[in-house]
Structure 1
């Protein structure tokens, strides 16, 4: 997190130095008044006048004197202040590497533990690690490249290890990654570019990872026992596309491959970062477009969204971020360019595809029972999905049509029982039901002659 440089000079500017700075300022701007305010050269600019390019040229000239400028609006007046450039502390690259390798270890453990039974867990761990590190790394490198291009000093990415899913702890092996900005962007264009670069590049890699992961996901025939998870629109679209082109094998249940799970995480990361709050990527974008306007409304909207979708820890994090004012760019007067405004609808589309989840298939409770405990039943969901068990049996199944079979006669404990009827009065031991509500299916048997 970066802060606005102190507007109180550490050492006073003498008159000659002030006049030298004033000459640079007046070469670029029409100045209404110039003074030293709290030991800081301060200039009130005439309005209207072009400020964006003039400010960039001024920064280039001030850079040679180890100075920077700050352009703000104060009581309807445009005020330019010149301060000494704050020193930046170099990053300790060893810390970045240690965190990087630690995150590789924790994500490998996650992939190993979530591996489906038919996939080698070591392969699962390795592929999940590559996929999730690619998603997170692409996101942060997008920020880093944009920061470098826009001459914003920043650290290398810090990967943050997290707990794998062990016991009652649900973890994904990482808390994400972050880069630290050490200086402010020069204007709103630069702030916008840094804000959007991470989510957009990360989104592209997420789409690729999701396609690969779902293509690798095994498909099996299995009774559709719920509850089922809800997935973002993009995840569902990728799955539908792969099914349309015949990538999947035969079956009715997709077992999510760890690489596909990494794609799912990438979508959630993209959505969370694009929320228009605090120092999140979406907060950078919102500030570049609106300045400080609607800051409170956007923060509250983001928190409400997170609460509705059940992201409670992130809601508290955004609440914490909302306590701090966004510093904005050095030039917080000039608006973003028109071509960047064309990107805004794309950001909304990416947010919706990544963050809005489709409701899971409806599920209902079903109990199959009989007046004689231990009766074997068979249940069919499709021609290829078959399941057998003994009464009483309870489960939660997806909405749909099921066929339930019981034997006409059963022998339990040496006694022969003959099927009499179902609870609805039907006497056919083969029964078709439409499961669209909670149901209790009850088979009644009557005792026959004992075996001799």
Structure 2
């Protein structure tokens, strides 16, 4: 016991606190800025007072997103600490607002484990703790967003031009960004039945709905059962190296099938505009070309295999039950078509 306490104190003492605090502070600034953008506020740069006033409009977005990211990463950190693995505090990754990108203010946060995983139990506990903790926050944000919607005319404070056309355009104008629904979103919509729920072409203007949705999206990406992602750790710990390989390959095939129709359609439109690809509209609507990029990243950059731990042993009891809970969370969070343009 004394040795455990000594190791944990050593891990806490060796952290680079100034760097972690600086990165968090910059990320807070960039997410406030992004939140102001998503809620329709122009950030004025001609004075410090106006700049601060404008970015504070993004407080709900920044707090929701950073709460999710911090909870996810500290879930990993404390699980690793419990197994006496030398690991860092979360490094938050700020991204300045860029007009040509989908500006979220951050690329997330990461921790670094500085040693090889000692065993399957440590691998599982560390891998599963982040997604489950983060999902709890994402679910809470969505639930709060569904039950505390602003009045229906809130959207006119962001798009006053809609008043001239009689409301939110239906169908929306070509080139309008929309977000896809995951299963959790569909279930909350069916159970709560909110009267002022915005369409998915406007949902990103509602900070609690948007950050809850983003939390689910990031949770699902982390739980992809491939390589050394959190989901890959869970698959390896639950089903061994062979089971992990089958799950990884099967999922790569799935996302390629999800992405291929819209990818081929986009390529044909770009290179052969006079020769349209005749695919049913439903097939295109249920496809996202980004999955092709993800398949390449997973296969070529991150890798689909999982290295063994120092002590591979089968999981039993509560850990296996928790593993199945993580699989349910993945199913609830996964969005087949996360982004798109009308």
Q: TM-score, normalised by structure 1?
A: 0.53
In structure 1, the partner of 2:73 is: 140
Unaligned 5+ runs, structure 2: 42-52, 154-166, 259-287
The alignment partner of 2:241 has SS state of coil
Listed one character per residue, the Cα deviations across residues 46-91 of structure 1 (whole Å, up to 9, x for unaligned) are xxxxxxxxxxxxxx9x99xx9xxxxxxxxxxxxxxxxxxxx9x944
Q: Given the alignment, which residue of 73, 89, 107 partners 1:175? A: 107
1:108 Cα deviation after fit: 1.1
Q: Which has a greater percent of helix?
A: 2
1:234 aligns with 2:184: yes
Q: Is the 8 A contact 1:288 1:328 kept in 2?
A: no
1:101 Cα deviation after fit: 1.2
1:252 Cα deviation after fit: 7.0
The alignment partner of 2:193 has SS state of helix
Report 1 or 2 for greater relative contact order, CA contacts < 8 Å, sequence distance ≥ 6. Answer: 2
1:268 aligns with 2:217: yes
The alignment partner of 2:226 has SS state of coil
In structure 2, the partner of 1:190 is: 122
CA distance, structure 2, for counterparts of residue 149 and residue 106 of structure 1: 32
- Count of aligned residue pairs for this structure pair: 272
Q: Given the alignment, which residue of 69, 78, 92 partners 1:159? A: 92
The alignment partner of 1:339 has SS state of helix
Q: Is the 8 A contact 1:189 1:337 kept in 2?
A: no
1:206 aligns with 2:138: yes
CA distance, structure 2, for counterparts of residue 191 and residue 316 of structure 1: 25
1:230 Cα deviation after fit: 1.8
CA distance, structure 1, for counterparts of residue 182 and residue 188 of structure 2: 10
1:243 Cα deviation after fit: 2.5
Q: Is the 8 A contact 1:275 1:283 kept in 2?
A: yes
Q: Is the 8 A contact 1:299 1:322 kept in 2?
A: no
In structure 2, the partner of 1:127 is: 60
1:315 Cα deviation after fit: 3.2
The alignment partner of 2:107 has SS state of strand
1:98 aligns with 2:18: no
CA distance, structure 2, for counterparts of residue 92 and residue 187 of structure 1: 27
Q: Is the 8 A contact 1:110 1:125 kept in 2?
A: yes
Quickly say closer, same or farther: Cα 1:258–1:95, change in 2 above 3 A.
same
The alignment partner of 1:319 has SS state of helix
CA distance, structure 1, for counterparts of residue 191 and residue 299 of structure 2: 38
CA distance, structure 2, for counterparts of residue 330 and residue 252 of structure 1: 50
Quickly say closer, same or farther: Cα 1:92–1:306, change in 2 above 3 A.
farther
Q: Given the alignment, which residue of 287, 290, 297 partners 1:317? A: 297
Q: Is the 8 A contact 1:150 1:185 kept in 2?
A: no
1:110 aligns with 2:34: yes
In structure 2, the partner of 1:303 is: 252
Q: Given the alignment, which residue of 314, 321, 326 partners 1:342? A: 321
Q: Is the 8 A contact 1:106 1:161 kept in 2?
A: yes
Unaligned 5+ runs, structure 1: 1-59, 67-86, 364-395, 397-452
Between Structure 1 and Structure 2, whose CA radius of gyration is higher?
1
Q: Is the 8 A contact 1:107 1:173 kept in 2?
A: yes
The alignment partner of 1:343 has SS state of helix
The alignment partner of 2:108 has SS state of strand
1:125 Cα deviation after fit: 0.9
1:352 aligns with 2:331: yes
